[in-house]
Amino acid sequence: MRDDDFAARGRRGRGKGRFDDDEPQFLKRGRPAEPVLTDPDPGPDDDAPGGDAWSTWDQAVHGPEPHPAWLVTELAARDTDLGVLKTGKEADVHLVRRAVPDTDRSCLLAVKRYRDAQHRLFHRDAGYLEGRRVRRSRENRAMAGRTAFGRQMIAGQWAAAEFAALSRLWEIGAEHGRIAVPYPVQLLGTELMLEFVGDPDEGLAAPRLAQCRPEPAELRSLWEQLVDALVVLARAGYAHGDLSPYNLLVHAGRLVMIDLPQVVDVVANPQGPEFLARDVRVVGAWFTARGLPADDSDPAALTALLLREAGIR
């Protein structure tokens, strides 16, 4: 297959996407109890029942402007934690309703909370963090030595890297429509608030690609969308770094890319091309196993195309 065949695939109009993230081993441990959707009860003070708290919008770094119309930004809003959407190795994702009391202004958010330095796993850090640097040598030494302070610095890098990547990709997707990611609402420390991907009325998250059994026409459409998204990533200088059917969602026929804390700078990271090639192999194998012709998902041809788009070859 010619390389430009990949670039020409999937120029279809697509709807908006939203959020979630996971890996296979956590799916096998059993799903957490479904969050319960309730009317927000702000209570009389900051100790109100139901996990309510004042909106942290005014304290946080905000996502790209213009902000979506559905997003509640009023400082009078309350955030109500409705339960855990999923657990992962480095973070848990909660479902949160942000609502302005005594009004009809509300929205559902997926809130990704990275665990503290004592309870996170950093077995993959070294390769992903190559090419990322902080200004001061003390921080670099602490990160390299995995001290308690260094682990906290790394946690901040994961969150900041994901927020930055989502912000950039959201803007690209809003302009060109070739990649869908959840809108990054805000970043506060190591907590990310993101657009909820799924049914907002029921609070049900969109299924992961790994959970889907698409018919041939849908399988083809999803593959074309994926190739488009990977080309956009490469042109932006990125590789996802941990791409699999478990961090791609399918929402209203649209493929939504999620879970980007380990996003790799393909040029600055010496292992960048290897991460990119692995991403292609993993997702390509899933599509081939579901019936996509092997010639259409040739990993060598697609990897070569993406490296050229990234300006490496």
The residue annotated as part of the active site, out of 259, 265, 279, 298, is 259
Q: Residue 259 catalytic?
A: yes
Dihedral angle computed from the Cα positions of residues 61, 165, 312 and 248, in that order, rounded to the nearest 10 degrees = 180
Number of H helices, E strands in the chain: 8, 13
Contacts of 40-49 spanning 24+ positions with Cβ under 8 A: 40/78, 40/80, 40/97, 40/99, 40/101, 40/106, 41/80, 42/78, 42/99, 42/101, 48/78
The closest alpha carbon to 27, from 160, 184, 211, 172, belongs to 211
Q: Residue 242 catalytic?
A: yes
Rounded (to 5) percent helix, strand, coil in the chain: 35, 20, 45
Pairwise CA distance, residues 193 & 199, whole Å: 17
> What separation in angstroms does the CA of 169 have from each of 71, 124, 268?
18, 24, 19
**Joined tokens for residue 265:** 């700078």
The residue annotated as part of the active site, out of 20, 52, 242, 298, is 242
Please identify every residue annotated as catalytic: 242, 259
